[in-house]
Amino acid sequence: MLVLQILIDGFAIGALYALGATGFTLIFGVSGVLNLSHGALMVAAAAAAWAAHTEGAMGSLASAAIGLTVGVALALATFRLVVRPIQRSPAIRAEEREIFILTATLLWGILIQEAIASLFTSNAKTVPPLIGGVTLLFGVRIPRNEILTAILCWAVIGILWLWVNRTRTGKAVLAASMNSRGVILLGIDLSRIHVAVWAVYGLLAGVAGVLLGMFLGVSSYSVGPLTASAFSIVVLGGLGSVYGSIMAAYAVGYLETMTAYLVSPAYRFIPALLLLVTVMYVRPHGLLGRR
Amino acid sequence: MSKGMPPLLGVRGLTKRFGGLTAVNKVDFALWPGEILGLIGPNGSGKSTLVKLLMGIEQPTEGSILFDGAEIAGLSTHLVARKGIGIVFQHSRPLERQTVIETILLGLLPDSLFRLSISAEHRARARAIAEKVGLGAVLDRRPSTLSFADLRRLELAKALARNPKILLIDEPFAGLTASECAEFSSLFREQRSQGKAILLVDHNVRTVAALVDRVIALCLGERIAEGKPVDVMRDEAVRRVYLGGAIEAAPRNGTGAAGAAPLLELRGVGVRYGKALAVDQADLAVGENEFVSLVGINGAGKTSLFNAITGFVPHSGEILWRGQPVKGLSAVRIARLGISHCPETRELFGDMSVRENLDLGGQRQAKAESDDRLAWMFELFPILKSRQKQNASTLSGGEQQMLAIARALMTDPQLLILDEPTLGLAPIILEQLSKALDALRQTGKVGVLLGEQNVTFALPHADRIHVMDRGRLTWQGSPDRFVHEAGANYLI
Amino acid sequence: MTSLKLPALLTLAFLLPVAGRAAEPIKIGVISEAQAVAGASIAPAAQLAAEEINAKGGIDGRPVEIVAYDDHSSASDAVRAFQRAVNEDHVQAVVASYVTEIALALQPWADRLKTVTITPGAASDLIPEAIAKDYAHNRYYFQGFPTSSAVAHMVCDSAKDLLVKHLGMQTAVIMSEDAAWTLPLDATYESCLPPAGLKPLDHIRFSKDTTDFTPIFNRIEALKPDVIITGVSHVGVQPTVQWKNQQVPLPMYGRSSQAINPVFWKDTDGGAQGVIMQAFAAPDVALSPKTIPFAEAYRRKYGAFPAETGYTAYDAIHYIADAVHRAAGATDADTLAAALEKTDYEGALGRIQFLPPGDPHAHALRVGPGFVQGVMMQWQDGKQVTVWPASLANGEMRFPSYIVTKR
Amino acid sequence: MAKTAPLRPFWPVLAILALAAFLPLGVSGYVLGLLTLAYYFGVFAMAWDLLFGFANEVNFGTTFLIGVGAYSAGILDNRYGLPIWACVAAGTAIAVVGGLILALPALRVSGPYFGLTTLVAVLLLQNFVIIFSEVTGGEIGLVVPDVITTDAAGNYWIALALLATSGVILTTLSRSAVGLILQASGQDRIQAAALGFNVTRHKLVAFSVSALFSGLAGSFMVFYMGTASIGTLIDITIGVQIIIAAVLGGRRTIIGAAFGAIFLIGLTEILRPTGEVATFLVSAVALLVVILAPNGLTGMVARKARP
């Protein structure tokens, strides 16, 4: 019974973590950007969906759509207003771009967080679930929405996989993540690819944010922890490796869940953090790191 | 050479493997005090790895390095340096925030954690070293304001400050003018006269011939020749590496296209990297369907010129495509004009399959058209057809090169720029590549601008030859004229 | 940079509204957190109180002026705001913050800058304990909110009536966030629940950064208790929504600070249905004749009912004014503190008195029947229904269908 | 360029210091309090900049060092009643040990990987403070009963002295022989090693020095504030503010970091009347500076100073 509970609960959490981290790693893979406003994007999407439902009296699906739109819009804004000006700035040397992008996206994340707090207060919000009720699975009572969340997460990851492996744009994106110069050589417009990737990233972050808002709820305080968790998972899995991220997401999800069940919910995060430190020492480039 | 006394540096069986690749294979050599030894080899021959092994930057897989009789193989870099080996890196990577004098002082400082002040004696010595290498006038300037030659001087000064017994110098003359080369040469000779041993690393014998006492030639990680510069230049194995064997010209069957209006025309094109002049006043034209070869040793400026044409580096002068200037166009726009660039680095998508790589090349065309071209590519390079599902990174070097060419051709170019396709490839592969190029030439569908250091490979595939040397186009003519006029001088 | 910035600051100081010295207003600084629901009511409620006082002619003719600051929920920000209030804006007293961390951070500053300071919302027992321990240094500090141990006692007292007598419950699991403020709360729960008739089966503390409460609820359910006794403040929306989504068949009962806020229903999208929480004030419960008029006035002015800290901040301004009046207009910290210690004022919260200096909870609010008493409320269909004490109750307990109670 | 180029900012800085020292004669306790806090942040930012400039590592764990130092000092005072100087000394020493622990991953990993390890160090410390709340006071903070002085001017002078001393020592260090080696090691570790320097050892030193000043300032700050809490010392947002201050002031200039901190805290205070949106506005200004003037305030001043 306990084993089943851990298995099921960890599965849903892992799926959410995986979805959140996939976009983060995608953006790093293609444009080399560690977007520290990641958590802010997720929370903004969730908050927008919440507001559309409670303030705008929209249905679950419509408000979720509003959340996704906000996610995409903010991701594109992040790219246009923050990342690209820095990448193109003649005053910033190439080797210093990393610190500048980290600092600027952090600040951008704080801006979004403050805007959310001002508009909707810092209280936690929950997006209305797409479906209600609970169901019994092997004797374990699970909210239907939790099952739907896990399914949706995997569906989105699956669609992403199809997009990257089956469509022209997707393939160009994949190619750009391996060798951006090779893409230019073939006359494929890299800047359009970047826009496409940021849009897809926004969509992923939006879906992750809205689902998180349904499943667990978010507040403006979640911005930092969400960014930190995506960052950890992605680094644990190996930067730029989507498979690594998914693996790491489940490792962290199950470790946290097991700690909460078997040790104490008060220590929930500690084993995962220790795991992270250990992996950094043993495999400095993550579980599936390339180099 | 005083072979009677023990060498300062004795290298035996030195080997370095990176995974499956053997970069340095059982290399033996010795270096005596008061000697300048040249280490030559084409790109990818393992020179740089060898230097890194000596300096402790990479750890050898096997073999021994004796310095003054003591084993230093496997020691970390700072310990090797303290024994008395100094290095001048190929690329200047100056400390951006320190002045010239500070940088030289750095070389004089002991490795102490608690030393705060810099003694007057140190300052005086730093100044003396600066004067010696010709930096006396720029003591308080920062690297960003220095000329290219001064940056090279600074690198040398930093290494000299350590007063090493052995100096490893990687490509000392790249990017320098003739008078600057002479200046550096005399500095090296002076060091030699003081009993220091110098290992000069360079691409070819000619640049260092006047300076070195002895030369070792490396190819594919192995030592292939050793001796006096003139002997090494005459060595059969070395000539094969650089020239690829007997030089032959092959006239094109059918119509040549030299008379047609030029597809690509370069007028007085120059390329600079900061302070280094890589290409100077290049004039060149490629006609419709014409095959033009640009021959020159590594570092001559071929790649820079190609990068200028395809918009990866900015240029001065004029580059015209069908009479229209390309200046200001992005690399993507230029690629879309119909110039396909297949660089020496190949730039394949390693974790994608052969088929996916090719499909990406044909991405901008309609499906049917792309399929046709794919069929043609499989005809041109049959091996690719059987490797379709394999990841590009798992292919052999030759197969990767074929894939790179095929992928470039998939974009339906009117001009294909091929940069060093033979780099590091075995002779058997060269033959296959050669056949494919020949087939391409007979179709008359596309012009080719081929950059090569391997003249034997370049000649049969050319309607015209240009020779490039130190950034300048020094000779042009037909392949058969090249055999008589330029070929003999090519190495020397 | 220093030379550049200072003139700007000084200019700004001149630009700040300086009331005419002739009217000699009583200035009260209010430091709060507008972005947090629990803190957002503090400044508006204080302002309302000041307007009421001024409408009645002020304190013996002197108007009350509120100077508001936002501390963005940061202790160092709050310290700076405090310094600004005292040294720059020369306020006579400060009402500051519902966050315990900030309240504690300001405690030493009340002494250093000799300014009477009242927290309208921090519940930690540490605050009055520090005052009792070092009265000489902390005598300017008052806790305008009951302590967490008082909260726990109230939960136990009500549980005896509502859960044990009424529903026949016998066992409970305490679920609280791992935080310093819950230490005295939990200790009191453990000692007062058994006499009330509820046996604590376990005591689960969880990290306040927890977002997934499934393991916690599953652990609790496995113990088969009759009720979950809560002690949460940093979290609230998330456990509530997950409790509802997972249809945990146990009532949640106890302190849940966020649940008291009128917006909680919206934030949880109705997930709060059936949650029972302890509160010290509610808009429709006449704790005193002043409660409902204040709540209504507040709603008229600001469009929504105040949070719990609105009532305490409103009262705080009034009893500060009362103390100034009793001190015959003297506003130095010592006189004002002495006057505040003798406070006996009927506020919106009930009868306000501070425990005397000798008490282990010196300067904390006196709690109990006849004083600040509080209520138990339950969320029912978007409304907070008062279910305890019987004298104030305006409804019966009702639970969602998936919650199984014995009777 | 003159031969005294490195000494150029000396006189203006001295003038500003002199002016700063006499400030308590002319301004209110509020401005002093504000600057006191800004000075402590200035030390934090300088210590961060030292690590960034010397070791070339983006350290998200600066609040780990501050927190370890400050909490050690605070706990020693709160629980064992040690004299203040002993608490400060012990806090600083423990922070240095923390710095060495933080340096260990830096020897193996770099870039984002190192950044993450330092971030994790902060998160772990935060978790431990909460879990061991009986000792640390948990989320509501730790009361530090002793105080050096309650006088605003006194506290101001202590902070100013600390800022000036740290600034002088860190600047001297950055321009000294060992500083030269440290900077070379940070910029290009292979070249530095090829000149015979033990880069590993120097990196450890850079971390220790950074930790020393972070811990020292952190320890003094708890005695000034009278409390220690996660929100004021350890939280990631504090670390972010410190990084932003250093970048705003002009990275790799040491002294610029101090000005950045004063500017940031000053700006927050100037914008305080805007209430809850102050943080938003401050972040927006900071973001604009980062994007439009990447060399920060010192970069702007330096550019103006040039003809």
CATH number at residue B92: 3.40.50.300
Higher pLDDT, D227 or B96: D227
Contacts of C111 in chain D (CB under 8 A): 150
Q: Select the residue of A100, A115, A232 nearest D290 (Cβ to Cβ).
A: A100
3-state SS, residue B199 = strand
Domain that residue A230 falls in: 2-282
- Whole-number pLDDT of residue B122: 87
Distance CA A99, CA D290 (A): 10
For the packed helices B178-193 and B148-161, what is the interaxial angle rounded to 10 degrees?
A: 10
- The verdict on residue B37 lying in a domain is yes
CA distance C184 to chain D (A): 11
Distance CA C72, CA C31 (A): 10
- Whole-number pLDDT of residue A280: 79
Question: Which residues 6+ apart lie within 8 Å of A159 measured at CB?
Answer: none
Distance CA A11, CA A26 (A): 22
Measured at the CA of D249, the angle between CA D246 and CA D254, to 5 degrees, comes to: 65
Q: Are B31 and B23 in contact (CB under 8 A)?
A: no
Handedness of CA A252, A258, A260, A263 (dihedral sign): negative
**Both C99 and C178 in a single domain?**
no
**Both B209 and B269 in a single domain?**
no
**Both B289 and B335 in a single domain?**
yes
- The verdict on residue A81 lying in a domain is yes
CA distance B53 to chain A (A): 21
Distance CA C233, CA C182 (A): 9
Q: Are D265 and D278 in contact (CB under 8 A)?
A: no
Q: For residue B227, what are the β-bridge partners?
A: B215
The burial class, CB within 10 Å (0-12 / 13-18 / 19+), for B69 is exposed
Q: Is D127 on the interface with A (CB under 8 A)?
A: yes
- The verdict on residue C311 lying in a domain is yes
Q: Select the residue of B351, B363, B407 nearest A172 (Cβ to Cβ).
A: B363
Distance CA C327, CA C306 (A): 30
**Both B293 and B367 in a single domain?**
yes
Report the percent of chain B where pLDDT is more than 90: 39
Question: Which residues 6+ apart lie within 8 Å of C253 measured at CB?
Answer: C155, C159, C162, C163, C227, C228, C229, C230, C276, C277
CB contact under 8 A, C215 and A265: yes
DSSP 8-state code for residue B93: -
- Across the B:D interface, residue pairs with CB atoms under 8 Å apart total 85
Q: How many domains does chain A have?
A: 1
Contacts of C108 in chain D (CB under 8 A): 143, 147, 225-227
Domain that residue C100 falls in: 17-146+287-352
- Whole-number pLDDT of residue C5: 45
Contacts of D164 in chain C (CB under 8 A): none
- The verdict on residue C398 lying in a domain is no
Choosing from B243, B271, B297, the residue where a domain stops is B243
Distance CA B69, CA D189 (A): 28
CATH number for the domain that contains residue A199: 1.10.3470
Candidates B54, B103, B113: best to mutate against D (most CBs of D within 10 A) is B113
Residue in D with minimal Cα distance to B79: D196
Q: Cis bond leading into C389, ω under 30°?
A: yes
Q: Which amino acid is at D168?
A: V
- The verdict on residue B157 lying in a domain is yes
Domain that residue B454 falls in: 262-489
**Both B308 and B418 in a single domain?**
yes
**Both B181 and B71 in a single domain?**
yes
- The verdict on residue B153 lying in a domain is yes
- The verdict on residue A113 lying in a domain is yes
- The verdict on residue B3 lying in a domain is no
Handedness of CA B275, B281, B282, B285 (dihedral sign): positive
- The verdict on residue C35 lying in a domain is yes
**Both B304 and B207 in a single domain?**
no
Q: Which amino acid is at D233?
A: L
Q: Is D165 on the interface with B (CB under 8 A)?
A: no
- The verdict on residue B93 lying in a domain is yes
Distance CA C92, CA C200 (A): 47
Q: Which amino acid is at A219?
A: S
Residue D121, pLDDT > 70, answer yes
| Range B423-457 burial, b when 16+ CB lie within 10 A, else e | bbbeeebbebbbebbeebbeeeebbbbbbbbbbbb
Band of the pLDDT at D113, cuts 50, 70, 90?
A: confident
CA distance B392 to chain D (A): 28
Q: How many domains does chain B have?
A: 2
Total Cβ atoms within 10 A of residue C102: 34
**Both B39 and B70 in a single domain?**
yes
Residue in A with minimal Cα distance to D130: A266
**Both C37 and C140 in a single domain?**
yes
| Residues B228-237: tens digit of each pLDDT | 888 888 888 8
Give the strand order in the sheet containing C252-256.
Answer: C199-206, C171-177, C227-232, C252-256, C276-279, C375-380, C383-388
- The verdict on residue A191 lying in a domain is yes
Residues of chain A with pLDDT under 70: 289-291
Residue range B54-82: average pLDDT? 91
Q: How many domains does chain C have?
A: 2
Residue B492, pLDDT > 80, answer no
The CA distances from residue D93 to D85, D200, D234, in Å, are 12, 21, 18
Nearest CA-CA partner of A238 in A227, A248, A251: A248
- Whole-number pLDDT of residue A196: 93
Q: Are A213 and A127 in contact (CB under 8 A)?
A: yes
3-state secondary structure chain D: CCCCHHHCCHHHHHHHHHHHHHHHHCCCHHHHHHHHHHHHHHHHHHHHHHHHHHHCCCCCCHHHHHHHHHHHHHHHHHHHCCCHHHHHHHHHHHHHHHHHHHHHHHHHCCHHHHHHHHHHHHHHHHHHHHHCHHHHCHHHCEECCCCCCCCHHHHHHHHHHHHHHHHHHHHHHHHCHHHHHHHHHHHCHHHHHHCCCCHHHHHHHHHHHHHHHHHHHHHHHHHHHCEECHHHHHCHHHHHHHHHHHHHHCCCCCHHHHHHHHHHHHHHHHCHHHHHHHHHHHHHHHHHHHHHCCCHHHHHHHHHHCC
- The verdict on residue C46 lying in a domain is yes
- The verdict on residue A195 lying in a domain is yes
CB contact under 8 A, D37 and C10: no
Band of the pLDDT at B489, cuts 50, 70, 90?
A: low
Distance CA A238, CA C32 (A): 43
CATH number for the domain that contains residue C112: 3.40.50.2300
- Whole-number pLDDT of residue A121: 83
- The verdict on residue B108 lying in a domain is yes
**Both B238 and B285 in a single domain?**
no
Q: Is B127 on the interface with D (CB under 8 A)?
A: no
**Both C163 and C302 in a single domain?**
no
- The verdict on residue C247 lying in a domain is yes
- The verdict on residue B293 lying in a domain is yes
Contacts of D109 in chain A (CB under 8 A): 280, 284-285
Residue range B468-480: average pLDDT? 85
Residue in D with minimal Cα distance to B101: D3
- The verdict on residue C368 lying in a domain is no
**Both B231 and B269 in a single domain?**
no
Q: For residue C227, what are the β-bridge partners?
A: C172
| Residues A99-132: tens digit of each pLDDT | 889 889 989 999 999 999 989 888 888 888 888 8
- The verdict on residue B257 lying in a domain is no
Q: Are B475 and B284 in contact (CB under 8 A)?
A: no
- The verdict on residue A289 lying in a domain is no
In B111-213 the beta strands, taken as DSSP E runs, fall at 166-170, 197-202
**Both B286 and B352 in a single domain?**
yes
**Both C303 and C231 in a single domain?**
no
Distance CA C156, CA C232 (A): 16
CB contact under 8 A, B350 and A185: no
- The verdict on residue A291 lying in a domain is no
Candidates C241, C244, C308, C401: best to mutate against A (most CBs of A within 10 A) is C241
- Whole-number pLDDT of residue C407: 54
**Both B212 and B274 in a single domain?**
no
**Both C50 and C188 in a single domain?**
no
**Both C238 and C293 in a single domain?**
no
The pairing of strands C141-143 and C93-96 is unpaired
Higher pLDDT, C73 or D216: D216
**Both C130 and C160 in a single domain?**
no
Phi, psi of A105 (to 5 degrees): -70, -30
Residues of chain C with pLDDT under 70: 1-23, 406-407
**Both C45 and C135 in a single domain?**
yes
- Whole-number pLDDT of residue B454: 78
- The verdict on residue A290 lying in a domain is no
